[in-house]
Amino acid sequence: MNSIEDYVRAIPKAELHLHIEGTLEPEMVFDLARKHGITLRYPSVEALREAYRFSDLQSFLDVYYAGAQVLRDESDFHALTAAYLHRAHADGVVHVEVFFDPQTHTARGVPFHAVLGGIRRALTDTGRALGITHRLILCFLRHLSADDAMQTLEQALPHADAITAVGLDSSEAGHPPTKFASVFERARNEGFLTVAHAGEEGPPGYISEALDLLQVKRIDHGVRCEEDPDLVSRLARDRVPLTMCPLSNVKLRVFDRIQDHNLKRLLERGLCVTVNSDDPAYFGGYIAENYLAVYRALGLSRGDIAQLASNSIEASFLPAAAKDAWLEKIRALSDRT
Ligand code: ADE
Ligand code: ZN
């Protein structure tokens, strides 16, 4: 029998919760700062990595938005995305649904088309070379106004063929899904699918609101659903996918220790739980490290790993035929081990 590390990396999986700006490794921060003549506040790559100690979501977001300032032109976004795809390929990712935050860049003068163009060119050329399929999800920053989100949606409309869904990220507490109900309604009318971060730091009521008002197909994180038993029943009954990110939750102190994570309980309860990496450059591991962390800390079986991988395919926006083909490959691989 092969090692668990090999098994986790071999199993075909989809990554459904990945902020492309969160794959910006310290080495690339320094390379791009040099390229653009930017002086950084940190003397070295090591010093920057050392600064990645967070007390909550906001303390992370402050560092994350500061880091993103080095992304200035189309080729930066291409390099960032291509580097991520190589890391993902090594971890057995066969399909990725990438979040990007245009407002982080357009607010400082980077054109929308440069952001989208660079990401898209890498997803197409490097993705094809590595055999990774993709979808793109445009996220609105919830700490900004609904008007700002609406303007961003309007900027995206000419590129609608390249963008499958819209999402909602950034500071959760105090910015409920209701704030964006009309933006999401417009997005749905324009043909976009919808997802939203909810129940990461915010209360379970935000998860219900995201489902009822934003009509989301998936909940990003969703760990706080457990505080509302009726909501847990609803999520199980409707197989609403939760895109969980275990290493992120520990780094941002949603759970004190990985052993405290509720992923296994919710999986056993019949929810469509998936494992993802969120912002891997900041949280100490890409997707395989997230699978291995919960395998080790929560005492999962190889069957559970196969279930998590199958859930990721089921929860993706791939067409049914592609889903069936990957599910069959996962079954064949798990039967052999
Ligand atoms: N943006 C990047 N990572 C995020 C997270 N974990 N929660 C909310 N917004 C984010
Ligand atoms: Zn996230």
| Longest CA pairwise span in the chain (Å) | 56
pTM here is: 0.98
CA distances from 293 to 16, 171, 263, 305 (A): 18, 26, 11, 11
| Cα separations in angstroms, 41 against 48, 116, 282 | 9, 28, 17
Per-residue confidence (pLDDT) for residue 336, from 0 to 100: 81
Q: Mark the ranges of the chain whose per-residue pLDDT is less than 50.
A: none
DSSP structure class, residue 307:
H
pLDDT value of position 185: 98
Backbone angles phi, psi at 175, to 5 degrees: -125, 75
DSSP conformational letter for 280:
H
Q: Annotate 48-76 with three-state secondary structure.
A: HHHCCCCCCHHHHHHHHHHHHHHCCCHHH
The two tokens of residue 218 are 């998936």
310 CA distance to ligand 1 centroid (A)? 24
Provide CB contacts within 8 A for 63, sequence distance 6+.
51, 52, 54, 282
Q: Is 23 in the pocket of ligand 1 (CB under 6 A)?
A: no
Report how many domains make up the chain: 1
**Helix (H/G/I), strand (E/B), else coil: 173:** coil
- Ligand 1, atom 1, lies closest to the CA of 170
pLDDT at 1 (0 to 100): 66
Which of ligand 1's atoms lies nearest the C-alpha of 201?
7
Retrieve residue 97's tokens: 């649904």
* Alpha carbon nearest to ligand 1 atom 8, residue: 170
Which one, of 35, 114, 108, lies nearest residue 66 by Cα?
108
Q: Is ligand 1 within 6 A of the CB of residue 22? A: yes
- Residue with tokens 């050329």, as numbered in its chain: 125
- Report the DSSP beta bridge partners of residue 273: 242
CATH number where 120 lies: 3.20.20.140
For residue 335, what pLDDT is reported?
85
- CB contact burial 167-204 (16+ within 10 A = b; e otherwise): bbbbbbeebbbebbbebbebbeeeebbbbbbbbbbbbb
Distance 332 CA to ligand 2 centre (A): 31
pLDDT at 112: 98
Ligand 1 center from residue 60 Cα (angstroms): 8
Please indicate whether residue 19, judged by its CB atom, sits closer than 6 Å to ligand 1: yes
Contact 85, 127 (CB under 8 A): yes
Q: Which of 24, 57, 137, 140 to mutate for ligand 1's pocket (most ligand atoms within 8 Å of CB)?
A: 57
Helical packing angle, 112-130 and 74-90, nearest 10°: 30
Please give the distance, rounded to the nearest whole angstrom, from the Cα atom of residue 22 to the centre of ligand 1.
Answer: 9
Q: What is the pLDDT of residues 258-279, one digit of tens each?
A: 999 999 999 999 999 999 999 9
- Can 227 be counted among the known catalytic residues? no
Q: Which of 21, 25, 97, 200 is catalytic?
A: 200
Helix, strand, or coil (residue 262): coil
Pocket test for ligand 1, best of 20, 21, 56, 60 (most atoms within 8 A of CB): 60
Neighbours of 162 (CB within 10 A): 16
E strand spans, the chain: 13-19, 93-100, 133-141, 165-169, 193-198, 218-221, 242-244, 273-275
- Whether residue 57 has its Cβ less than 6 Å from ligand 1: yes
pLDDT in tens, 204-231: 999 999 999 999 999 999 999 999 999 9
- d(Cα 243, Cα 137) in Å, to the nearest integer? 14
Tokens standing for 127?
């993705």
Q: Are 327 and 47 in contact (CB under 8 A)?
A: no
Q: What range defines the domain where residue 112 resides?
A: 4-336
Regarding the beta carbon of 118 and ligand 1, being less than 6 Å apart is answered no
Pocket test for ligand 1, best of 17, 197, 221, 250 (most atoms within 8 A of CB): 197
Predicted confidence at residue 44, as pLDDT, reads 95
